[in-house]
């Protein structure tokens, strides 16, 4: 899908000091990304701390993102879980009129085998909705093998993309080599964005890009244009801050960066906590080192 090409940003959910949702900060974050070249926005991903939001809060945040975006960028909505029947129900019940697609993480905790993963996404595909497969074994405890992804891609045209975040970059390349023409792969690992895009990927759904949207978007567009040296110059400047924001888990690192930029307050909901003082200082030092 051409609309979901380039840099997608997995938005954080900003919180006030009392841990209520900070809607003004969310608006600032959206405007900052729209003004600086982000191609599309992802609501209710892992980075949004969606697991700690009530049903009412999730609805309020989604509505606010739609309103603040005002049709300017394509939107993707995260709907996932480890109860296949419930995820299917949520997808069927959701108002997706403002969204290009659903991003659905593979079932976590249950640890299904490859046939179980295939059957899960087959069931979701039967909704007829446009769905992005999301493979992030570091969080789910189970990898979607390349063969399973390719099987799904070949049989269900509405499973049109995978956000791939396996720790083994060979898996990205195996999918890119063998995928059908209609199927896209975007990087789910910020550090792999450039090599994966150069190998034929469609870009990234990124965490760090919401803090450096212009730089990250420029890098991906340079990759599309095959301007490799210029793209790697940006990659090399951002690689250390990218590693730092994930050093103690996501989204505590990116919230530190966004707070330093004055876009949000550095608040998270339990069981997540702020980055350690040591990590925050490393992040501040690296932010001062980055020059564009």
Catalytic positions = 134, 163
Q: Is 62 annotated as a binding residue?
A: no
- What is d(CA 164, CA 230) in angstroms, rounded to the nearest whole number? 25
* 47 carries a ligand binding annotation: yes
> What whole-number distance in Å separates Cα of residue 77 and Cα of residue 184?
17
Q: Strand, helix or coil at 111? A: coil
Residues 6+ apart with CB under 8 A from 101: 1, 4, 76, 77, 129, 130, 131, 132, 160, 161
Judge if the upstream peptide bond of residue 271 is cis by omega within 30 degrees of 0.
Answer: yes
53-83 in b/e form (b: 16+ CB < 10 A) is: beeeebeebbebbbebbeeebbbbbbbbbbe
Q: What is the DSSP string of 188-243?
A: SSGGGHHHHHHTT--EEEESGGGTSHHHHHHHHHHHHTT-HHHHHHHHHHHHHHHH
Helices within the chain (DSSP H only): 23-35, 55-69, 84-93, 114-125, 137-140, 146-155, 169-178, 193-198, 213-224, 228-245, 252-260, 277-289
Q: Output the known binding site for pyruvate.
A: 47, 205
Q: Output the known binding site.
A: 47, 205
């Amino acid at each position: 899908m051409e609309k979901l090409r380039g840099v997608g940003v997995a938005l954080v959910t900003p919180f006030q000091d009392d841990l209520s949702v900070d809607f003004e900060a969310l608006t600032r974050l959206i405007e900052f990304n729209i003004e600086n070249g982000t191609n599309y926005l992802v609501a209710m991903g892992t980075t949004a701390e969606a697991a700690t939001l009530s049903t009412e809060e999730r609805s309020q945040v989604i509505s606010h993102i739609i309103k603040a975006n005002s049709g300017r960028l394509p939107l993707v909505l995260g709907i996932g879980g480890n109860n296949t029947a419930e995820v299917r129900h949520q997808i069927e019940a959701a108002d997706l009129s403002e969204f290009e697609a659903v991003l659905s993480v593979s079932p976590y905790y249950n640890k299904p085998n490859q046939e179980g993963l295939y059957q899960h996404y087959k069931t979701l595909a039967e909704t007829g909705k446009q769905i992005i497969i999301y493979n992030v074994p570091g969080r789910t405890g189970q990898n979607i093998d390349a063969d399973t992804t390719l099987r799904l891609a070949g049989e269900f045209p509405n499973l049109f993309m995978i956000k791939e975040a396996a720790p083994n970059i060979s898996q990205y390349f195996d999918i890119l080599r063998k995928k059908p023409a209609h199927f896209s792969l975007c990087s789910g690992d910020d550090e792999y964005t450039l090599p994966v895009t150069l190998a034929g990927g469609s870009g990234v759904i990124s965490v760090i890009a919401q803090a450096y949207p212009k730089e990250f978007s420029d890098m991906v567009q340079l990759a599309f244009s095959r301007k490799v040296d210029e793209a790697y110059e940006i990659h090399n400047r951002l690689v250390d801050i990218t590693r730092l924001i994930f050093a103690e888990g996501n989204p505590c690192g990116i919230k530190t960066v966004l707070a330093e930029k004055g876009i949000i307050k550095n608040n998270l909901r339990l069981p997540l906590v702020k980055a350690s003082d040591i990590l925050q200082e490393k992040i501040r030092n690296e932010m001062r080192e980055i020059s564009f």
